[in-house]
Structure formats: C-alpha cells, structure tokens
Chain A
Amino acid sequence: MLLKLQNVGKTFIDKQKHTSFEVFSDIDLTIAENQFVSILGPSGCGKSTLLSMVAGLENTTEGSITLEKREIKKPGPDRGMVFQQPSLFPWLDVKGNVTFPLKKSMNKQQAELEADYFLKLVQLSKFKHHYIYELSGGMQQRVAIARALAMNPKVLLMDEPFGALDEQTRHILQDKLLEIWQQTKKTILFVTHSIHEAIKLSDRIIVMGTRPGRIISDITIDFPRPRDRENQQVITLEKKIMNLLKTEINKVLKEELADEIQHSS
C-alpha cells in the first residue's frame, strides 16, 4: 500500500472571529501503487483541502496520512501537484519551469535531459524556449504536468487540472494523461467534479458527500478503457453516481435556501 489516510479530519479555525469549521472527519482511504484514483464530489465538500493535505500544504487536524509508511508533515518532491491554474513561473521559459524542481538534486545537464524527456512526453519539445505568456491554457497545463512528473514523484496529485479548459482541449488532455499514466506507471490521485471525467479516467472513484464532508462511496471500475460515452456500462455507472450525488447536491441547495429564508425574515 502506497498512500494511506487514517481517520483524517480537517477543521479550519478562524482566530479573529473565534469560529471553527469542520470540513470533514474520519476519512479512511488506502491507495495502491499505479492506481488511478479519482475523488469526485460536489464543490465545497473538501476535495481540494484533502489533496492539499496529501501534498503537505495543509496540516491535518485529526488522523494521519502516510506515504510508504512515512507520515506526511510537509510538502516534498515525492508528491507532485498539478493545480487548476497552471501556476507556472512567468520569468522562466518552458524548459526553465520544468527544470525548476530538479536544480537541487541534479546537475544542469541531467536536469535538461530530464526536462527534454518530459516535454517530449507532453508534446511540447518545440516550445521549450517559449515563455509562459506565449502558450495557450492547454499548453500551460501540459507544462505543469511535465514539471510535476520531472520530479519523479511517487504520487501525482491533480486538483481539477482540466477544469479551466475548453471542452475540446479537455478531451485531448484526458487522453494524453491516460497515455502518460500507462507509460510512466504513476500513482495518480485526481480531483474532479465531472462524473464523466472520473469514469473515463479512473480505476477507482471515491465519491464524497458534503456537510459534513465524507466518503459516501468507493467504486472500483473494472471494465476496460477506452470507455465510450455510449457504452452501456458507462451509462449505468454514470446514473448510479448521479443518484448518489443528487441527494448531496439537494442537501446543499436546501441548506442554502434555508439560510436565505432565515436571513431575509
């Protein structure tokens, strides 16, 4: 077992207002090597928070997260992260961005060889001397993926990486990601709120509910890829997840409506 979350909980405390907010508690999750796992849930259920905790950017308020039996306390190059915004460094060219995390562990030549390899993998070799403002959103996200992969992390964490892209680019990058995953045999933890994206990509889908955030279903997908939209198995699974989430989304809507009525009266 590679990544293990035990009784993980997160509470944000607002020191100025003396309030606290529990995002989720008692999250138990074990992820095996080479698995492509998606976390799916309505917005606000704590997906990003959970991923940030695995990345080490947020601390855990309860429980523990371990990677190969070592407890995660802070960020490290064994976990690569791709955010919804590409978060590239504009003062560096494409190659400079990809070699950024490598400067500490290898010499310049080695780093450049690595960068070349991963830029080829995301098909951006021709753009290695371009600056970020010269690239489209999809290209920027590919650079971000190459940068995360170049560190050779044990786990690749992706937080709605294609969420800000147009439909067409999103499809192309999803296919590309599957290809890369098959080639590199990485373990991927992928956050999304798109049911279809989760089904298309994952070995396993963790469905999260909200208020309080928790895991409501853990679904293993055992039919082969590519998973066409018209495929009967895909349609059945899509319906199943839709029903799971419907209750959750309705819950959010109802609460918000109740709040509204309370505030206006």
Chain B
Amino acid sequence: MKFSIAAKRIMFLIVVIGIWQFIYSLNIFEAIVFPSPITVATALYEGFTSGDLVKALGASFKHLLFGMSLAILFGTIIGVILGKSKQADETAGMYLIALQSIPSIVWVPLAIMLFGFTEFSVIFVVVLGGTFVMAINVRSAIQNVSPQLIRAAKTMGTQGLRLFYRVEVPAGIPYFMTGIRLAWAFSWRALMAGELLSNGPGLGYSLSYAQDYARMDQVIGIIIIIGVIGAIVDHFVFSKLEHTVMKRWGLLR
C-alpha cells in the first residue's frame, strides 16, 4: 500500500497516542505522573484560552527575536573578520570551536550572576547560544568562495570592496543560510535553558512553574509545544529557504 508522507506521519501519531491511551487505561501509573492524552489536550486548551500560554509564547519569541538578531549580527562580524584575516583566524579561530562546544545551559549561572533574574539574562544566553555557530559558518562562507569566480570577477575589473560585496558575499549565501538555520536551532535550545531558570515570562518559565505545582499535564503539553514549534520553524522556514538557495546556487541536482 502506498500512502502520502503526510498520511504516514498522521498514522504514526495516532498509533503513538493510542499506545499512550492504552498504557494510561491499564492504570499502572498514578494519573498525576501519567496523565491521559485528553488531560494534556485539555491543559493545553485551557492554557491557550486563559491567555497564559499565549503570553508565554509571545515573551519567548521576543527573547528569541532579539537574541537571534544579535547572534546573527555578532556571528557575522566575527566570521567575516576570521574569514578575511588569516592572522586573526590563526590567533582566535581555535577558541571559536571551544566556545561553540560549551552547552548553552552552562552560561545561565553566569548570566544570572551578571544580570540577575531578568529578561536580559535570557537574551544574553540566547545570544551566546547562536553567535559562535553563526561565526563558524560565516567564516566558512568567506573562506570557501570559489577562487575561479574571484578570478572571473577580477578579469572584469572588480576588486577590493566591490569584489567583497558583489562576489564574496553573494557567493557565501548558502553557508550563511546554513549558519542562520543552525543559529536558530542553538538559540532555541539556549532560550529554553535560559527561561527555565528565569523568573518569567516565557515558555521555559511556564514549564518550571508547572513543575513546581506538579502539573504533569501542563509539563507534557508545553514540551509538545516546544517540539512542535522547533519542527515547524525548521521545516517551513529554514529548510525551505536553504533548499531554494542551494538550488539556485547550483549546489543541488
């Protein structure tokens, strides 16, 4: 039998929910640690209708927007400097990998000590989460411009700054796109880490709040929201964008 991809995914989901419901109805676990799908759905519904979750989502997206914009900006500046100057790259390039390998949750205590339990702390963590991966990709973008394209541009009398913004920048767009996509992925994780330990508002804060009140239905509901948003943004925004760029740049066939 042949099903469309969407049909397969929906069937898989129904099966998972079915198993969940089945285990719930066996009554092995207490309802408080193992809520039914319907309880979770109700918790989500109530969260949205009361406006609590809407507010939390709004705050989270605000943090993300500020944090990611700054991460992209800083990452691009660092990446261009390291990509353009061999000297700078030899001096500081290694540390970029080191910084990138630090999990963002590690920055949370630092942020709280510096800025207290403020929204600024959350944004700070988001910025650190996205900057380094962006910088690494922008550096690659600059370093991997095809020398043949540069030669061709030079024979047309293009040089210096013009060569940079008319050839090197557009030639690096595919790496740049990958950088933004990864910056989003890392910033999104950093955002949750930051908010979890913040004083709200935000989705991460709502999650820790639900935990404090032992509301497993809300905890699961929010985890679902976080996963769904991650998947939707990646699939509908970044994958599509990256695909379009890759195709245009002749990197797909």
B-contacting residues of A (Cβ < 8 Å)?
55-57, 74-77, 79-81, 83, 85, 87-91, 100-101, 104, 131-133, 147-148, 151, 157
Contact = CB atoms under 8 A, between A and B. Distances in A.
B151 A77 contact: no
A87 B149 contact: yes
A89 B156 contact: no
Contacts of A77: 156-157
B5 interface: no
A57 B159 CA distance: 12
Contacts of B49: none
B148 A100 contact: no
A101 B248 contact: no
B4 interface: no
Nearest to B252: A133
> Chain A contact residues: over half helix, strand or loop, or mixed?
loop
Given A133-B248, A133-B250, A87 B157 contact: no
B171 A91 contact: yes
Contacts of B171: 89, 91
A72 to B, nearest CB: 12
A81 B157 contact: no
A85 B250 CA distance: 14
Top 7 closest pairs, chain A to chain B, by CB? A101-B156, A87-B152, A81-B155, A133-B250, A77-B157, A91-B170, A75-B154
Q: Of residues B156, B159, B249, B253, which shows the largest number of chain A Cβ atoms within 10 Å of its Cβ? A: B156
B247 interface: yes
B225 to A, nearest CB: 37
A57 B156 contact: no
Contacts of B247: 133
Given A83-B148, A131-B248, A133-B250, A91 B155 contact: no
Given A57-B155, A151-B157, 4 more contacts: A83-B148, A87-B151, A89-B149, A90-B249
Interface in B144-184: 148-149, 151-159, 162, 166-167, 170-171, 173
A115 B167 CA distance: 19
A100 B248 CA distance: 18
A57 B248 contact: no
Contacts of A83: 148, 151-152
A101 B249 contact: no
29 contacts: A56-B154, A57-B154, A75-B154, A75-B156, A75-B157, A77-B156, A77-B157, A80-B155, A81-B155, A83-B148, A83-B151, A87-B148, A87-B149, A89-B170, A89-B171, A90-B248, A90-B249, A90-B250, A91-B173, A91-B248, A100-B153, A101-B156, A104-B157, A104-B162, A133-B247, A133-B250, A147-B156, A151-B157, A157-B155
Nearest to B149: A87
B160 to A, nearest CB: 11
A104 B162 CA distance: 10
A163 to B, nearest CB: 14
B157 A85 contact: no
A104 B153 CA distance: 13
Nearest to B170: A91
A102 B199 CA distance: 58
Given A77-B156, A101-B156, A104-B157, A91 B151 contact: no
Contacts of A81: 152, 155
Nearest to A76: B157
